[in-house]
Amino acid sequence: MAARDFGKMGINTQLAHAGNVPGDYFGFVNPPVVHGSTVLFPDAATMAARAQKYTYGTRGTPTTDALAEAMNTLEGSTGTIIVPSGLAAVTVPLLAFLSAGDHALIVDSVYGPTRLFANTMLKRLGIEVEYYDPNIGAGIAALMRANTRVVFTESPGSNTFEIQDVPAIAKVAREAGAVVMMDNTWATPLYFKPLDHGVDVSIHAATKYPAGHSDVLLGTVSANKECWPRLHEAFLALGCCAGPDDVYQVLRGLRTMGVRLEHHRKSALDIARWLETQPGVARVLHPALESHPGHKLWKRDFCGSSGIFSIVLAGGGQKHAHAFLDALQIFGLGYSWGGFESLAVHVYLGDRTITGGSYEGPLIRLQIGLEDVDDIKADIARGLKAAAAV
């Protein structure tokens, strides 16, 4: 078979083939799941020079290389590290690029645990953390300082789904010498490719759509040529490596992510449009809806929408939110998302400093799973009826 350059092919072709070379493993379509700490060297000279591809389990295996290569193809990156959770995929690059005395700008609508890490560990390490408005765009210039080393973006924002003008922010930040990071978990590389929009480091909770079955925790961090050496160095220094079975499961998940995500996308958008017409719903926060304040930006930069969005109930408080959630039969009440099943959660915004928002009522986040749309709608209708009856 001739050598193939999947990077130039369509995204579904990339998902089906990128990352491993069957010829390397006797023709088997999938790479082996390599369980290994020690790697043997043929002789002392090779050992002293570490002159072979694999030298120790923490530094990479054929299994981790297959997933890293697949992510490089999908993200257009130079290198990818694989870490044990999506949260580690956030913390490792922040530790890689920030030092005492640096200033970090983090979007206010960031994933909650990222904020907790910044407010505790980064501050303790002597890094000044400042949150900025997700709608800031090129206005971020006013917040840049001589010591601003990292600008962290996440679009859409966690739970509240604000769309950031990532290209505008990245342009300003890079001209000022800062590294631009993006948590790209919502879109996956199918619907947004951060490095094509000026971002240096793209982060994924592979726990979500790449794994797709609520049974694996994993994170990936992909960097451009400039940032790869430092990211890789931090990865090796921290010893934050993932187990081979989980890495393999995510590579397996990537093969079907295109079809799964397309189903999530269609169902979620159908349900979001329907929800806009339902009594008891004040607003639907889904960037692919024309009513969304970030819709134009989303349309300009993204090529799809995934299966998670929020609704704002028309008035009421925690009692109404709990009545809604407790009436659900299909939706599970649980954190995380990206699996095959629908999930709902009452969103907490108490730690936000800018985007805590003046919402008409409680915010409920919905992950739309692969169930039949009519059943999901009937379930949400049960919740709305219960909330209305409080």
Binding site for ligand PLP (CB under 6 A): 85-87, 90, 111, 154, 158, 183, 185, 205, 207-208, 217, 219, 336
Q: How many alpha carbons lie under 13 Å from residue 278 in its C-beta half-sphere?
A: 24
Cα–Cα distance measured from residue 30 to residue 310, given in angstroms and rounded to the nearest whole number: 37
Q: Report in angstroms the alpha-carbon separations of 69 from 13, 32, 139, 250.
A: 14, 15, 36, 13
Total residues found in the chain within this entry: 390
The least CB distance from residue 336 to ligand PLP, in Å, is 5
| CB-nearest residue to ligand PLP | 86
Cα–Cα distance measured from residue 338 to residue 325, given in angstroms and rounded to the nearest whole number: 19
The least CB distance from residue 205 to ligand PLP, in Å, is 3
Q: Work out whether the CA dihedral 147, 149, 154, 159 comes out positive or negative.
A: negative
| Comparison of 178 and 217: residue with beta carbon closer to ligand PLP | 217
Q: Work out whether the CA dihedral 284, 189, 174, 236 comes out positive or negative.
A: positive
Residue 163: what residue type? I
| Comparison of 75 and 183: residue with beta carbon closer to ligand PLP | 183
The least CB distance from residue 153 to ligand PLP, in Å, is 11
The least CB distance from residue 279 to ligand PLP, in Å, is 30
Cα–Cα distance measured from residue 164 to residue 316, given in angstroms and rounded to the nearest whole number: 29
| Comparison of 77 and 158: residue with beta carbon closer to ligand PLP | 158
Cα dihedral 73, 79, 82, 86, rounded to 10, equals -80
The least CB distance from residue 257 to ligand PLP, in Å, is 16
Q: Which residue has the tokens 């350059």?
A: 5
| Comparison of 92 and 387: residue with beta carbon closer to ligand PLP | 92
| Comparison of 107 and 387: residue with beta carbon closer to ligand PLP | 107
The least CB distance from residue 112 to ligand PLP, in Å, is 9
| Comparison of 208 and 352: residue with beta carbon closer to ligand PLP | 208
